[in-house]
Structure 1
Amino acid sequence: MRIGLTGGIGSGKSTVAAMLVDHGAALIDTDAIARAIAQPHGAAMPAIKAAFGADVVSADGGLDRARMREIVFSDIQAKQRLEAILHPLIGQEAERLASEAGGAPIVFDIPLLVESKRWRQLVDRVLVVDANEATQLSRVVARSGWKAEAVQAVIAQQASRAARRAAADAVIFNEALSMESLAREVQQLWIRWVALPTGA
């Protein structure tokens, strides 16, 4: 079973991912892969430097994330160029990690699952963690210290809630749920998708 897990920033997706791991899933975090390949000497850095120049390379040779964020938020073509570099490399590393999962159910944590299109064909089920935008905003501001405008810019660039829900095989609406209630929803989903012999 290959589960594609997605949700907007501040939806609680990472919490759900951790709960799925507790049930026995192998987690492949595409955000973590993206960060790794943009570290100093990372696989993506030569192509990023060639496409965007030394201005986006930090003093240690990795990606200057703040500078790149400024560029892609103001230029959709720059965003597309960056994604064209990162997505194939992320996909290759994700598949390599999946091959090492040893038969365990795999959860691919993919923030841009709906936007990238390619992932839907590579997973058996899509789980969306959803929350109201106001809740997303307050959660991210509280945990990160970002300004509200910066969080809103991220939300605006992500797929809409409606688009994510339309792509989902299941939706967890993580709005005013206690941790116990959220854990119960995750457990029920795990039983339905993974634990039952029919997978029904």
Structure 2
Amino acid sequence: MRAKGGLVMDWMSVVAVIGGVGVLFVACCVAIAQAAFSETMSRTKLQVAIFYGTVFAVALFGCLAITQAADTGAASVFSLALCAVSLFVGWHLSRAWRLNEDVEIASLNELRRFVETHQNVEDSLEERCARTARDYDLTRREEAILNLLLEGKTRSEIARELVVSDNTVKTHIRNLYRKMGVSGKDELADAMVERCGNAG
């Protein structure tokens, strides 16, 4: 017959496993809800939701595997350690991803301001993009992406609007920059401003 102390330790281990996995489950649900119900599509919120979803799956299956291979004591240590590390890493990752997204949005806003400042009244955005596409031999998709970039859309917003993956948009933007001889949104803005000046 097992000692009372052993049963107490088993119960404490089970509670620790459930607590660690439960905290990760809640973090996963909150991240998914924030990504799904935010007013604007945010790549950062989507990345955070994927991160916590992956960590929750690792915690769940890892605890089951460790309990089978060893005991609930080892699973409880794994669960609590993974929970603590994941919350710490997740917080830092979300800050870094948000900063990158903020930088991209700021660049796009600056690009939009540049274009709006130098826009001819009679010259629509579509006409300027069409003229640029002809001059630089852009594909129809690259022209559409140029148009959306000049409207101030983020990469994730462009992907959603064109119903393509984020990586596909990234490839088209890279090709667009190469053809126009620019290395980023700021240089694209300068190139478009220069074209507006030459056209005027």
Question: Which of structures 1 and 2 has the larger relative contact order (alpha carbons within 8 angstroms, sep 6+)?
Answer: 1
Higher strand share: 1
Which protein is richer in helix relative to its size? 2
Give the TM interval when normalised to the shorter protein.
Answer: under 0.3
TM-score (norm 2): 0.21
Q: TM-score, normalised by structure 1?
A: 0.21
